[in-house]
Amino acid sequence: MYVGWFPPSLPPFSWSRFLKGRMTQMSRTDEMRNLVEQLLADRGIRADVSAMLRVDTSAFIRYAQIAHTAMARDQKQSLAAERTRMVADTAAFRKDIQAANHTMAQTLKEELTASRADLTKETAALRRDAQSAHADMAAEQKAGLTESRGNLAGDVAAFRARTQSAHQSMSQTLNKELTTGRSQLKTDTAALRSHAQATHAAMAAEQSAELMTGRSQLATDTAALRSHAQATHAAMATEQSAELMTGRSQLATDTAALRSHAQATHAAMTQSMQESLAADRAKLVADTSAMLGAIRADADGVAAAWQMLSSAKRPNQHPMKAPSVRSVEATVRVDPAQPAPVPMAAQPVATLTPAGEPDQLTTITGIGSSTEKKLLAAGIVTYAQLAATPMDKLSEIVGPTISRLAKLDSWIEQAKQLAQID
């Protein structure tokens, strides 16, 4: 019902009742009815188009928000998994180094203790046997002891050189050298015992002095060897600690760079989406303005026709006031502050293979819903197709951002396993 077209003294006017009354009196009834019906139909179509545009705009905004949320969730999960793996690898490496150092120190300690005990027993036995030796064999005994001491000193020097050049093989080398020295010492002791039974008791004091000198020299060499082993162990621990600190610093730097890159990528995507929405809004405003121009032209033509009809049929009455353009414009308004309706983007449709339904690509670790849509749009719908896709082609499909963050070679390997391809 339109009230403002008639003088204030007239009652509210009904278009349907007016048209029925007027059409029965007009000679050109069919032509006028068609004109009015066409006008009403055009107004209905424009209203439907406006409603569809609003619905499409709301749906596109929801789709953009869902896609953005899914992408952020995928990136966050990938970063969390990578960080957890790095922390676990660092902890395992540190634990292995500590266990290896502890085992090495324990082994060295046990071997040194055993060697010291063996040498002490052999020296005590040699002293007891030598105290009963005869004085006449003193010269020969002295020569034998000098030779034994030289052999023992040479063995200790060789052992020290091998320890400095190959720390890990020290245990086997030490056992071999000690066994050789022990056999030689046993042989020399047996010979000494057989000859010492006829020696004079006067040489016992001199023999005891020589043995004391040898023991002092052996204690000095053992202390030097222990100090060298401790210094080597301390240097190794310091070097490993420095390497761990360097690795930790490098990990922190890489994590910060990755976080900055993700933030920059997110900001660029947001800016691009805002610019796209602004361009679509401006286009919709322009299209709506053009539609309003067409509606104004139609309304002006209808107003002129009504004016002519009113003047020809009712000369003694006031001419009817045609609908103003403002009333027509009121039916279609565009609020510049509201987001411009944008048609929904065409959703990618997966091409079915002759085998039947496409595979669930999100089963592969690292592929989310947004990445799956890109693969489907490119025609990759099965595990076999993904496994056969080259790395450069796959990187081009998913985009540079996902290519840098994801492990595309892992996708291909998982696809081969799922598709049972050797």
pLDDT digits (tens, 9 = 90+) for 74-88: 889 988 998 999 899
Percent of the chain with pLDDT over 90: 15
- pLDDT at residue 168, rounded to an integer: 78
Strand partners, 356: 353
Assigned architecture for domain 361-418: Orthogonal Bundle (1.10)
What is the pLDDT confidence band of residue 384, given thresholds at 50, 70 and 90? very high
- pLDDT at residue 267, rounded to an integer: 67
Contacts of 409 (CB under 8 A, 6+ apart): 391
pLDDT, tens digit, for every residue of 324-343? 444 434 444 444 444 444 33
**Whole-angstrom Cα distance, residue 334 to residue 330?**
10
- pLDDT at residue 219, rounded to an integer: 84
Token readout for 176 is 């071999």
DSSP string, 84-123: HHHHHHHHHHHHHHHHHHHHHHHHHHHHHHHHHHHHHHHH
**Whole-angstrom Cα distance, residue 321 to residue 333?**
23
What is the pLDDT confidence band of residue 313, given thresholds at 50, 70 and 90? low
- Return the CA Rg of the chain: 51
What is the pLDDT confidence band of residue 284, given thresholds at 50, 70 and 90? confident
**Whole-angstrom Cα distance, residue 404 to residue 381?**
23
Strand partners, 353: 356
If you average pLDDT over residues 276-285, what whole number do you get?
75
Most confident option among 57-71, 103-117, 210-224, 364-378:
364-378
If phi over 0 gives left and psi between -120 and 50 gives alpha, with beta otherwise, what is residue 399? Answer: left
- pLDDT at residue 386, rounded to an integer: 94
Strand, helix or coil at 330? helix
CA 245, 251, 253, 259 torsion-angle sign: negative
Q: Return the higher-pLDDT residue of 309 and 358.
A: 358
Angle in degrees, CA 15, 16, 22, rounded to 5:
85
- pLDDT at residue 327, rounded to an integer: 46
Q: What are phi and psi of 48, to 5 degrees?
A: -65, -40
What is the pLDDT confidence band of residue 173, given thresholds at 50, 70 and 90? confident
Count CB atoms within 10 A of the CB of residue 71: 19
- pLDDT at residue 347, rounded to an integer: 37
Contacts of 4 (CB under 8 A, 6+ apart): 321, 324, 327
If you average pLDDT over residues 318-327, what whole number do you get?
48
What is the pLDDT confidence band of residue 394, given thresholds at 50, 70 and 90? very high
pLDDT, tens digit, for every residue of 10-34? 556 666 766 666 666 655 667 777 7
Contacts of 317 (CB under 8 A, 6+ apart): 310
Token readout for 141 is 């005994």
Q: What share of the chain is helix, strand, coil (3-state, %, to 5)?
A: 80, 0, 20
- pLDDT at residue 178, rounded to an integer: 82
If you average pLDDT over residues 273-277, what whole number do you get?
73
Strand, helix or coil at 420? coil
Percent of the chain with pLDDT over 70: 72
pLDDT, tens digit, for every residue of 124-166? 888 888 687 777 887 887 888 788 888 888 887 888 888 788 7
Contact between 368 and 415 under an 8 Å Cβ cutoff? The reply is no
**Whole-angstrom Cα distance, residue 398 to residue 151?**
74
Most confident option among 39-48, 117-126, 346-355:
117-126
- pLDDT at residue 345, rounded to an integer: 36
> 196-205, 246-255, 315-324: which range is least confident on average?
315-324
- pLDDT at residue 403, rounded to an integer: 86
Q: Return the higher-pLDDT residue of 262 and 406.
A: 406
Give the dihedral of Cα atoms 276, 282, 284, 287; nearest 10 deg: -140
First to last CA, the chain: 76
- pLDDT at residue 290, rounded to an integer: 73
Contact between 141 and 130 under an 8 Å Cβ cutoff? The reply is yes
Strand, helix or coil at 13? strand
Q: Where are the alpha helices (DSSP H) in 132-203?
A: 138-165, 170-196
What is the pLDDT confidence band of residue 362, given thresholds at 50, 70 and 90? very high
- pLDDT at residue 264, rounded to an integer: 74
Q: Does 319 score more than 70 pLDDT?
A: no
Q: What are phi and psi of 332, to 5 degrees?
A: -130, 105
Contacts of 402 (CB under 8 A, 6+ apart): 371
Token readout for 324 is 């103003």
pLDDT, tens digit, for every residue of 203-245? 777 877 887 887 888 888 878 878 885 776 667 657 765 665 7
Average pLDDT, the chain: 76
Token readout for 266 is 């997110």
**Domains in the chain: boundaries:** 28-340, 361-418
Most confident option among 48-57, 242-251, 303-312:
48-57
Q: Does 251 score more than 70 pLDDT?
A: no
Q: What are phi and psi of 353, to 5 degrees?
A: -85, 165
